[in-house]
Structure 1
C-alpha cells in the first residue's frame, strides 16, 4: 500500500507501486488475504468505482522523460511554456517537437501533458 508523508513519488517509486499492484490489476479482483484491506463497494447512491488502468509502458516512459526536463513551478502551463522550459533544460529535440504539437490549453501536471499527447494532440512518432 502506498505510503504518504514526506516521501516524494517519482518515476522509480511509480515503477515499484506498479509492480506491487500488478497482480491485482491483472486479476481484475482483489488479491488481498485480509478483508480490512479490501476495497469497499460503492454505496447505492454512489457511482460505481472503476480501477484506473495501468498506463502503457511507453506512456510511463514519456511521462518520466518529460518530468526530468520540466520543473513543477511551471504548472499550470500552456504549450508555449512547456516548449520554452524543455528548451531551457536542453531536452531532446523529440520532446520539444512533441510539445509543439500539444493542443492549445492549460496543463495542470505532466500526466495531463501525456494524456493530451496520447489522445491525439501530438504525433508521438516524431524523431528529433
Structure 2
C-alpha cells in the first residue's frame, strides 16, 4: 500500500526539488535542451502575428495613479519585504530588506523613509516616498 503525500504522487519534498531544478533551467537564460531539434520553433515569416486581444487595446496592469515603473517598484518592494514585517517602522523595513538581500537601490530608497512613522503596507511606504500609489475609484 502506497501513501500519497502532497499534490503529486511523488511527495512534497520531491515536488519541491523538481521545482528548484526547473527554476534553475528557467533562470539560465538559455535552452535546457541539448538537442536543438527538440527546441520549439518560432512562427515563420509567412505566419500572422498573434494578438492577445484582437481589435482592442490592452489596458490593465497599471492602476490609476501609478505608472509602470511604480508598479514594478511596488512589486519588488513587496517581494523583498513580505507581509510579516508589517506594521513596521523605517528601521524594520531596512533590516528586512538587507536580510532578504534586496538590491542596493531598494535599500537606498527605504533609507529615505521618515523615522518614527509606522507603515501598514507597501502602499504606505510608496506614499511616504512620494511615489505613485493606487487610487481607488469611488
TM-score under structure 2 length normalisation: 0.48
**Post-superposition, which runs of at least 4 consecutive aligned residues in structure 1 deviate over 2 A?**
none
Q: Which runs of 5+ in 1 are unaligned?
A: 1-17, 23-51, 120-128
SS in 1 for 2:64: coil
Q: Which runs of 5+ in 2 are unaligned?
A: 1-58, 132-138
Structure with the larger RCO, 1 or 2 (CA within 8 Å, 6+ apart) = 2
Deviations for 1:17-43, whole angstroms, at most 9, x for unmatched residues?
x628x8xxxxxxxxxxxxxxxxxxxxx
- Using the alignment, how far apart are the partners of 1:71 and 1:64 within structure 2? 10
Q: C-alpha root-mean-square deviation of aligned residues, in Å?
A: 2.0
Deviations for 1:63-121, whole angstroms, at most 9, x for unmatched residues?
001011002011010000000000000000110011111012010001111111125xx
Question: Counterparts of 1:11-30 in structure 2 under 5 Å?
Answer: 19=60
Question: Counterparts of 1:1-128 in structure 2 under 5 Å?
Answer: 19=60, 53-104=64-115, 105-118=117-130
- Using the alignment, how far apart are the partners of 1:118 and 1:67 within structure 2? 17
Work out which of the two has the higher radius of gyration on C-alpha atoms and give 1 or 2. 2
Structure richer in helix, relative to its length:
1
- Using the alignment, how far apart are the partners of 1:101 and 1:19 within structure 2? 30
TM-score under structure 1 length normalisation: 0.51
